[in-house]
Amino acid sequence: MIYKETQLFVSDNSGIKSVKCIRILNSKSQSIGTVGNVALVHIYRKNKYSSLKKKLLYYGLIIMVKQFKFRKDGIIIKFKENRVLLFSNVYKFLGSKILGILTKEIWLNTSQNKKEKQKYYKILSFCNNII
C-alpha cells in the first residue's frame, strides 16, 4: 500500500533514483494506492547528470508494492520495494526502458477509455517481462 509521504524507487532509465508520493490520483479511496494507480510525486534523489528538476511535480504509475497481492488463481505476489514509472505532466513516459518486470494488474486496473489504454500499450512495449 502506498500512502502520502511514501518513498518510491524509480524503475526506468530517466536518471531519477527515488521519489516521494504527494497524493494518489485515480484510486477509490483517495489515500491508499496499489498497483496500477497513478500518484503525484516529486523527486527525492537523482543522478547528477539527470536533466529533470527537483522542484517540479511529476506523475508516477505504481508498478510494484511491498504489500502482498492475492490473485484469483491462488498466486501470491510480493516485491522487495515500492517502484514507480515516471511521467511528465502530459503523461509522456520520461524513460526509454523499464528496468524490471510489470504485472498484469497494471493492465487490469487502468480505465476503459481508449486514449488511456493506448498510453499503457506503449508502456507494455518497453517492458521485457510481464507476470
pLDDT of res. 111: 55
Domains in the chain, number: 1
Asked whether residue 115 is domain-assigned, the answer is yes
pTM here is 0.88
Cell digits of residue 9? 524507487
Domain range for 115: 7-130
pLDDT of res. 7: 96
Asked whether residue 1 is domain-assigned, the answer is no
Asked whether residue 15 is domain-assigned, the answer is yes
The per-residue pLDDT for range 43-75, each reduced to its tens digit, is 999 998 888 998 899 999 999 999 998 999 999
We report the CATH number of the domain holding residue 51 as: 2.40.150.20
pLDDT of res. 129: 79
Interior/surface letters 10-22, b for 16+ CB within 10 angstroms, e for the rest: bbbebbbebbbbb
Asked whether residue 70 is domain-assigned, the answer is yes
Q: Is the pLDDT of residue 23 over 70?
A: yes
Better-scored residue on pLDDT, 91 or 112 = 91
Asked whether residue 2 is domain-assigned, the answer is no
